Structure formats: structure tokens, C-alpha cells
Chain A
Amino acid sequence: MCHECEGANRGSAADSGIPPRSGYSGTGLWTSLPGAGIDESYRIIESTPCGGSAAKVEESGMAVVASIKDFNRISDTIWEIPVTYKEGMRVPARIFATEKLLQEMDEGVIEQVTNVATLPGIVKYSYCMPDGHWGYGFPIGGVAAMDVRDGVISPGGIGFDVNCGMRLVLTNLSYGEVKPHLRDLVDRLFARVPAGVGSSGFVKISQDEFRRAVELGSRWCLENGYGWKEDLERTEEMGCIPGADSSKISKKAVERGFKQIGTLGSGNHYLEIQVLKPENIYDEKLARAFGLTVPDQVVVMFHCGSRGFGHQVATDYLQLFLKVMEKKYGIRILDRELACAPFHSPEGQDYFAAMKCAINMSFANRQVILHRVREVFSEVFHKDPSDLGLRQVYDVAHNTAKIETHVVDGQKRQLLVHRKGATRAFGPGAEELPEIYRKTGQPVILGGSMETGSYLLAGVETGAQTFFSTAHGSGRTMSRRQAKKMFQGKKLQQDMEGRGIYVRTVSYAGLAEEAGPAYKDIDNVVKATELAGISRRVARFAPVGNVKG
């Protein structure tokens, strides 16, 4: 049942779950599809007359999927994999995507979204958003809500980079006003917001003070002069999720993170100066409500997370859960990365309290970065940040598990909603939203690749079908190595400059890995979320300056 657990020491090659090279082209979902990922055999899905599907093991061991009709097509943007696909599935899996996006998804998405469907306490469906791709444990774009009474909590459903998220900041400046200062702005931001491998920030605090900071999140930043009061209500959880308990975090986690507040990190993390062209406003009323009122308005968007601290919190509890999951709680899983514990167990509650510290670290990290952005704009334009309109639109979290109340089959239920590489997107009227956004629905910030563009969306009432969750970005389609083979960092930087995007980076190889073609077309991802009724378009921003993490 659980080869990855049991055969971990000296398993056969097949136990690793890696498909044979000969049977895998790696180009998309439909060329090969491994089954459970726990067995030496692979599966195919067969259509049944009633529109359902059934999984069967193909004896040759080769993975073949006939066509898209093997999924239950619920609508043009909802694709269902029934519980018969894999032994142990408690609920069906649902992928939200257009047919084109679905075909572009890699095979790991299917393996992972159906593995998630086997977790105890999962409610309704195991979801994958339109930007979904192969992750570890959950797919990236994975959403699963667990009943708080009998469900589990899993670090693999949150990710190592807890509360990796996006923040969008307005200015009242037009591109015409910013353009002459663009290089200066980007160069200063590059110096003030450290990026890259193992970078540390300007906030010098003791380990004890760091423990306080991760309990308080953005509120700690305000206490220390790194923010405005209004920033709090424009951040999920008011920038401080209650229940964070620093007695539940390890010394190692603190040692990894206490010098890293105010740093971007690397990979797909970035800080961008962007422009909103008038033709890229899709909903004028909402755009105005979100503060987009200046022609060719310049905004700042950044993406980063809880840095080494959050990574270590997740690692610590992943190891703990592996020790107790089966022995103490009798839970068996299909991928060790899905290690979990009952939410109400002592281990589950400890992780929840520790993970909340990582959520708050990430809010604090982005809050301090916002402070640096305000400093830089103020220096360059010789004006107070408030006179430059440097107001935060919103701050959204991608990698979290939160207790939320949702209506399930007509009943209100408390659920622990895991979102991994997915964004909460509450619709208009949600009590959790601050007064300023209760009529509009929650602002949702979607980061695209550094070459293409990013979006501001809004949550919608029909988002209830995904427990108010939507996509988080454009989603990768190309491996990092492939991207490095295809693109040369220095040349990419020059090409981008030719197209009006000034980029600074600590790593040209890292820059090449983030080239635009390594990602899905964000326009298609965003359209899919709108078609599926899980969020709506407000505006699209074009990058003009980028600090690459």
C-alpha cells in the first residue's frame, strides 16, 4: 500500500515511482500518465458509458492515456477524476482549467491531486487550479479542505515556503514621471532589498526578538516603524494570524531565519515596478475601488515568503509527522511528502501554531520590504511616501492552511483549507474582508513571469465552488535546467532592456531560469479563472523594472 514508506531503505527502482524514460516524453499530460505513483505498474483511465471513468492497471507497465474524454467533463473549465481512479480516494479530484491548459499540465499533477484525495477528512474534492503543475506532496495549485473534527493537517499541503505571497503597492505616479528615474529606482531597490542565495536583511534583532516578531507579524513591524496602520487591514489576517506560538518552533528554524527579515530570497521571487496601461483595465469600477485611478499608473508588486525560517518549520514537522502518523494514528499515505497528523492531535496543533509563526514571518518580511520601497521612492522623488500615494492594495498568501467557515451541501462547516500555490479569493460580502473591500470582493494578486505581466483580480461569489480559491501565478511549464539550456542570462537581460524592462539580478543563471517562455501564458490562466467563475479580471500590469531574486 505504501511503498514509499515501507520500502524507503532499499526499495527497487520502481519503488521510487519514477516512470521509465522510454515511457515518458515529459511534454504533457496526455502522453503518459503514471498511476498511483506507489506501484511498479501504471494505469490508464477508461471511459464508461455513463461518463464515469475507471482506472485499471495496464500489464505492460507502460503509461498511456487515450484522450481528454477519459476525464469527466463537468464544464468547459472543470475536469473531474472519479474516486475509482485510485484505491483510497475519498473524494473525486477536480482540475479547473481550459482544455488547452489541462493538456499542458504535466503528469505529476494527476498523480498528486489524486494522492491528496486520499487524505483523511478531505471534504468535497481535491482541487487543482488552472496554473497547476507538478510539485511535491500536493500539486502546485492544490487546494484541499479538511473537516476540523476528523481531518488532518499536512505540511505537504502548505509547502516549505509557508505564506509565500504577493503584495501590490500603488503610487500616484504615471509612467511618464517614473521613466527618467527608472534605473535609479531599480538600482536602489536592488541594493535595499537583498536577494539571492542565503541573503540577509538590514533588520538586526536578537533571536528572542525574532520569536516575538513571528508571533506578531506585521504588527511587530508597525511597532518598529516599518509600516502604516492602514497596511494591516490591507493584508490577509490583518498581517498577524492569531495563535502563532513561538514555543513550538525549533532553535534551528530561528537560527535560519532571524537575519532574513526584509529579503526576497531567490527562484521565482521578485520585486517589480509595473505600469497599468488604460487598455489593460478590464473592470473600471473595481479598478477605481482598488485605487487604480491614474493614467499609465505605476505600481510595485513583489513576491516572497518566510525564507529559511518557514522552510525549517515545515521540515521539522514533516519529520515529526513521519514518526507518529502511522505508528500513533494509523494513517497511511501515498507519498511521504504528504505526511500528516490529525488536526486535533497534539502534533497537529503544535504544527498549526508553528506554521502560523511562519505565516507571520512572511507578513513581516513583506511589510519590511514595503518600508524599503517607500524609502527608495521617497529618496528618488524627494517627497514623503504618503504624498507619492504609496499605499498598499493588498497582501495575499499562497501557501497556507487556515480555518475558515464554508457552506457545504447547505450546512455551514468549519474547515481547515490547505492552499498550496493557490490564493484565497473571498467574494463580495465575506465577513473576513476589511470594510474597504467587503463590497468589491477580495483583491487577488497574480504574478506572471518577469517578461510578460501580472494581474489584479477580485474574488467572486461563485468562488464558493473552490472554497473561494483561485490561481496564484502563471505556473511553470519548463524545468529550470531546460530554461538554462535555452536562455542565456546576460543576453536575456539585454533583450529585456531593449523591450523597456530594466532588470537587476545577483545571478544570471537564476535569471535564465525565470525566462518568460518557462511559464504558461498568464492571460490564459487568468481567463480560465474567470470562465470557471472563481475570480474576475480587474487589471493587467506590464513590467518595466525588476529586481530578480
Chain B
Amino acid sequence: MPFEYLDDIATADVAFHAWGESLEETFKAAAEATMNVMVGDLSTIDEVDHRSIRVEADAVDMLLFELLQELIYYKDAEKLLLRIDGLKIEQSNGLYTLTADARGEELDPGKHDLVVDVKAVTLHRFAVEETPGGWRATVILDI
């Protein structure tokens, strides 16, 4: 998977790098990394339910912040474990807009290998950076 958890940062929480050739790939990888903290095996999440996601931000990193917060919101508010597909990012007049299909199902401790809850996306060292090969996100999640 195009993400890697980082052992040496923020001892009690979870830090990761996610990357991709495009912003869309990077954001998808970051979404997978976030969900994988909560669910040990993402392949156990069946596509039973669907939510359309649309978030906006005036900076590309805050757009990622908004996307990851949406996943955390659905986990609490509707108990939905969601995976992202069909992610599109557009920029117009300094405003970034992200749309995506989120598919998944209600969490079930008997079926899903649940690990630990993600409380929030922190902004400590939070970054979305352009690299020679594409993009890389650095995220620390509050556990």
C-alpha cells in the first residue's frame, strides 16, 4: 500500500506518510491509512452502503484534513466504515473542491478486525508536499 506508519513520531498516537503520483492517489492512500488504523484488514469492509463526499478548502492540505475528518465523522455518527473511490479534486478561484464516492458498511466487531479508534486528525506536522515523484502527505492521528 502507498502508505507507511511512522514509529518515531508522537508516541501515543499514530503518524503516517501516504503518497502517490497524483494528489488524488495520495489522498486515497491517506484515507486508507486512516481507516487501517481502526480496521486491521480493510478487505473485510464490504460495499453495502454508499455516501457521496464533497468537501472544500482554501488550501490543498486542509482539503485532506476535511476528507479524513469526514471518514471519522461517519464512523461515529453512522457507525459506517468507508473506503474512498472515484476521488476528484478541482481548483477554482483559490478554492479546492473534493468529491468522492465512499463505500462501505456498518462496523461489526464480529466481522471487522477492529483495532483502535481514531479521535481526530491533528495539525501537528500535518503536510501535503510535492515530491519529485508526485505528492506525499504527513499525518498524525489522535488516538
A506 interface residue per 8 A CB criterion: yes
B interface size (C-beta, 8 A): 50
Q: Are A136 and B7 in contact (CB under 8 A)?
A: no
CA distance A510 to B79 in the complex (A): 19
1/0 per residue, CB under 8 A from B, across A152-195: the answer is 00001001110000000000000000000000000000000000
> Could you list 15 A-B pairs, sorted by A, with CB under 8 Å?
A16-B138, A17-B125, A26-B7, A37-B125, A160-B122, A197-B75, A197-B109, A198-B38, A198-B76, A267-B119, A315-B121, A319-B62, A506-B109, A509-B116, A510-B116
Q: Are B11 and A479 in contact (CB under 8 A)?
A: yes
1/0 per residue, CB under 8 A from B, across A498-532: the answer is 00000000110110010000000000000000000
B128 interface residue per 8 A CB criterion: yes
How many cross-chain pairs have Cβ atoms below 8 Å apart between A and B? 174
Residues on A with C-beta less than 8 A from B125 are 4, 16-18, 37, 335
Residues on B with C-beta less than 8 A from A94 are none
Closest to B79 in A: A198
CA distance A130 to B72 in the complex (A): 32
Contact of B107 among A17, A161, A197, A311 (CB under 8 A): A197
- Which stretch of A253-261, A409-417, A438-446, A453-461 is in the interface? A253-261
Q: Are B62 and A335 in contact (CB under 8 A)?
A: no
Q: Are A137 and B60 in contact (CB under 8 A)?
A: no
List residues of A (94-114) whose CB comes within 8 Å of B's CBs: 106, 108
List residues of B (112-138) whose CB comes within 8 Å of A's CBs: 113-117, 119-131, 136, 138
CA distance A337 to B62 in the complex (A): 13
List residues of A (219-261) whose CB comes within 8 Å of B's CBs: 252, 255-257, 260
Contact of A311 among B8, B59, B119 (CB under 8 A): B119
Closest to A160 in B: B120
A interface size (C-beta, 8 A): 64
Q: Are A481 and B9 in contact (CB under 8 A)?
A: no
CA distance A308 to B38 in the complex (A): 14
Interface residues of A (CB under 8 A from B): 4, 8-13, 15-18, 24, 26, 37, 106, 108, 133-137, 140, 156, 159-161, 196-198, 200, 252, 255-257, 260, 265-268, 307-308, 311-312, 314-315, 318-319, 322, 335-337, 339, 476-482, 506-507, 509-510, 513
From A17, A136, A200, A268, residue with most partner B Cβ within 10 Å: A136
A85 CB to closest chain B CB, in angstroms?
19
CA distance A26 to B124 in the complex (A): 18
Q: Are A8 and B10 in contact (CB under 8 A)?
A: no
